[in-house]
Structure 1
Amino acid sequence: GGRLMEAVVVDRQRTALECVQYLRDQRVGTATFLPLDTLKVKPLEERLRALGPGYRLCADVLQCADAVRPAVLFAVGSAVVCDDLDGARDLCFNRNEKVKAVTLSGAVISKAGLMTGGTTSADLDKASRWDAREFEALAR
């Protein structure tokens, strides 16, 4: 997952500060908070919408509640979803686009050209935890 995969979206900065204070007071670890009232979302790079077949802006394919959309846009930025690793490699290395490219199978090429792929047990655990939380929310 990405660095913000486990970030917590909160309504405002004050809530984030209270949460950080609670974590510190209880000595129960750290978390990253995305306060909706102060989040600075960079504009999407519109030109990336015209890359052609096999390429889509992540922001255009993700579905989420309007209330949390700024946090989602902040997290994904102008990342591009590519059909496969060959397409991602072509985009980043041959076409020299300085973007984060993510394939449908989960491989990632960072803006700096670092490649990440495969699956760790931690990723599977995070994904199953997220699925369980989503299921609980849907069940309510």
Structure 2
Amino acid sequence: MTTALNLSAANRLIDAALAHGRAGGMAPLCVAVLDAGGHVIALQREDGASILRPQIATAKARGSLDMGFGGRELARRAAANPAFIGALAALAGGDMLPVPGGVLVRTADGALIGAVGISGDLSDKDEACAIAGIVSVGLVADVGVQELHTQVPSA
């Protein structure tokens, strides 16, 4: 069981997320893992992923960290109040993307230790890869809705 989000855990998480994407036949992905302060620990972009994927993946993770809830909830709030989320994105210097695929990383006791952002396929598929990566290292995935994921949800 991992209790810290260090480089070793981040790289294992990325490997599992990318493997989940490959097993699902997804488009080439980019995965960004950030610590609780919003600093990039690790980032990998698969061959064939488009040019802006690193920035998109980082903005998904960063937006979740900035607001304290996962991208799924951030997307729900953006739909309900787009002007507010637009203002937040401006405050964040554009480094916030309110869509699924930004997932908070928590320890088993609920401590926030970072976030994962994935970009490359449909946002729901990106989110599924993030969850797979996070739970593969024994951590809890928080997408911003009621349930927390301690295992990969069934498709």
Tell which has more relative contact order, 1 or 2 (C-alpha 8 A, sep 6+).
Answer: 2
TM-score normalised by the chain length of structure 1: 0.27
Structure of greater Rg: 1
More strand by share: 2
